Amino acid sequence: MTNKKVKDAEIIEKKEVKKEDISPNRTALLYVIIIILTCVIAVGCLYELCLRDLISVKTGEQTSKQTINNNSIKEKSNITITETGLADAVEKVYDSVVIIENYSNGKLSSSGSGFVFKISGEYGYILTNNHVIDGSKDIKITFTNEKTVAATVVGSDDYSDIAVLSVPSNSVVMEAEIGSSENMRVGDTTFTVGAPLDSTIYSWTVTRGILSGKNRKIETSSSVMEVLQTDAAINSGNSGGPICNINGEVIGITNMKIASSSIEGIGFAIPIETAMEVAESLISGEDIKRPYLGISIYEGMNRFSLDSSVYINSVEKGSSADKAGLQAGDKLLKIDDTEITSVANFKYNLYKYKLGEKIKLTVERNGKTITITVTLQSK
């Protein structure tokens, strides 16, 4: 009995020992499982929170962008666009421009434009074209303030097509600012102010264009003029008015255009440098002296041949041409090395020289070509 009890006790003890050995392992495993589940739950919660924040941020950004875009659209829609163009430049010269009206027997015979370019003492001086006032006896000037005064012709020059008028200085509204045509480049902005067509309706009309060309040679029946070219609209009545640069400075005097159904936008102006040189001479009372040969010339058929060229019609006795040996019937071929193609061309090239200079004239006489040296004198 005793032995059996001992054995049973040993078996019970072994069972208890085994029970004690197994229980801690299970507990540890349980802890591990709990920890793992806790971590999974924590990670899941964290992911959900991060996802919510990310969605919130993106939503906020989109809202912000939409707000910015909406603000931008709203701001753009409230912008007011203003464009002054040449308004400031026009104001600098506008009130210096005058309307010139020529009367005959109390009736208006013609009109043109001009501008006040100088004020000195009791007088204001107006520049215009010679052809605007040529033959006029009664000239009236109207200013932008609608006041009209009588004008006096100080002097004029047919060849350069420049004339100067004077008015009382207290009647002048504004004096124009003189610029430089030499500093202008082809493509620069230009504008004109004048009275095209009917001065009673279109007075002080402003037209805009560009400088289309410089040093253009335009031949008329009596002269060749070196002028500026512009596509600013120029019409009858604009003659004598100013053409200006973008700063409102006068760079020339409008004087002609090419009129044709097939031509558009070709107008011309006398460079202000040329105009001012002639004007100052006229104001000072100086004669504008140009070389004078003492010959009359014509274009046409020579009495001895059938070709059309420039010929001497007559020679004034005692003139430089007479002293040099030129004769009626001589065909003019060259001045120095420049060919003569017309009466206007001959005058243009002759007037490039100064008094006292010597030139070589190549002429054809009786089928022979001869060269004659002439000393240039004044009339």
Residues annotated as part of the active site: 131, 161, 239
Q: Nearest Cα to 242, choosing from 283, 201, 191?
A: 191
Single-letter residue type at 291? P
CA 23, distance to chain mean position in Å, is 105
Q: Please report the beta strands in the chain, taking only residues with DSSP state E, as ranges in sequence order.
A: 97-104, 107-120, 123-128, 138-142, 148-157, 162-168, 189-194, 205-219, 224-230, 242-244, 250-257, 267-271, 295-301, 308-315, 331-335, 338-339, 358-365, 368-375
Whether 137 and 181 have beta carbons less than 8 Å apart is answered as: no
CB atoms within 10 A of CB 283: 16
**Rounded Cα–Cα distance for residues 355 and 376 (Å):** 5
Whether 342 and 349 have beta carbons less than 8 Å apart is answered as: no
Whether 221 and 199 have beta carbons less than 8 Å apart is answered as: no
Given the structure tokens 């078996």, which residue do they identify? Answer: 11
Return the biggest CA–CA distance within the chain: 187
